[in-house]
Amino acid sequence: DAKTTQPPSMDCAEGRAANLPCNHSTISGNEYVYWYRQIHSQGPQYIIHGLKNNETNEMASLIITEDRKSSTLILPHATLRDTAVYYCIVRSGFKAAGNKLTFGGGTRVLVKP
Amino acid sequence: NAGVTQTPKFQVLKTGQSMTLQCAQDMNHEYMSWYRQDPGMGLRLIHYSVGAGITDQGEVPNGYNVSRSTTEDFPLRLLSAAPSQTSVYFCASSRMDRTNTGELFFGEGSRLTVL
């Protein structure tokens, strides 16, 4: 699975959009981009994933560049409860060997009042 | 649904002791896995299973054993605890069929301290 690069930390203001970048320049054609977050010491929580089209759900939007070498997770209206570590993960599609996700260091996001 | 349940939530061991961390899921997921997370670090895969009777090693398997006798349960055994195994342990599960999104469901974690 391709490696990802994320900034170690970022701050954003409550109520504003938070844009979290992720670089995955070695991504291959069948690899998906996944985003998870971990609030305090809880178990990671799935946010969203995509292959090449932009995706949106009730939590966030995922924008993937046309060459798929980078992506941005957008939290449209950040709240204090969005303070967490956000992980960008690249993984191949369906695998008989299961969903082995490799977590890097992530981006520590602090939402400030 | 309870989701993924881990017990115990906290445990203190002495070096050399053995113990089992329990993980159970009620979502009929074929795939189950164990991760450990050291302070300030990301999660590292210890062992995983793609179904009852099938297990395999992840990135950091040494010092740990697993078995999968049922779909629901995936216990993690520490054979002889060492201070280097002080960590937070997370169990995760997911579907395995071709419609699955790859979404992993995590438990709340088990915090282990080895003195």
Q: Average pLDDT of each block of 10 consecutive residues along chain B (115 residues)?
A: 92 97 95 92 91 92 96 97 96 80 89 97
Is A42 within 8 Å of B94 when comparing Cβ atoms? no
Q: What is the pLDDT of residue A21?
A: 97
B39 contacts chain A (CB < 8 A): no
CA A43 to chain centre: 15
Q: What is the pLDDT of residue A55?
A: 95
Q: What is the pLDDT of residue B40?
A: 79
Q: What is the pLDDT of residue A53?
A: 87
> Is it the case that residue A45 has pLDDT exceeding 60?
yes
B88 contact residues in A (CB cutoff 8 A): 41
Instruction: Please report, rounded to a whole number, the percentage of residues in chain A having pLDDT higher than 90.
Output: 73
B44 contact residues in A (CB cutoff 8 A): 103
* Cα dihedral: B9, A37, A4, A18 (round 10): -150
Best residue of A100, A102, A107, A108 to probe chain B, by most B CBs closer than 10 Å: A100
B61 contacts chain A (CB < 8 A): no
> Is it the case that residue A98 has pLDDT exceeding 80?
no
B26 contacts chain A (CB < 8 A): no
Q: What is the pLDDT of residue B2?
A: 79
Q: What is the pLDDT of residue A95?
A: 64
> Is it the case that residue A74 has pLDDT exceeding 70?
yes
A93 contact residues in B (CB cutoff 8 A): 102
In Å, how far are A4, A39, B43 from A106, measured between CA atoms? 9, 12, 10
B101 contacts chain A (CB < 8 A): yes
Nearest CA-CA distance, residue A93 and chain B, Å: 8
Amino acid at B110: S
Nearest CA-CA distance, residue A95 and chain B, Å: 8
Question: What is the number of CB-based contacts under 8 A between chain A and chain B?
Answer: 68
Cα separation of B85 and B49, whole Å? 21
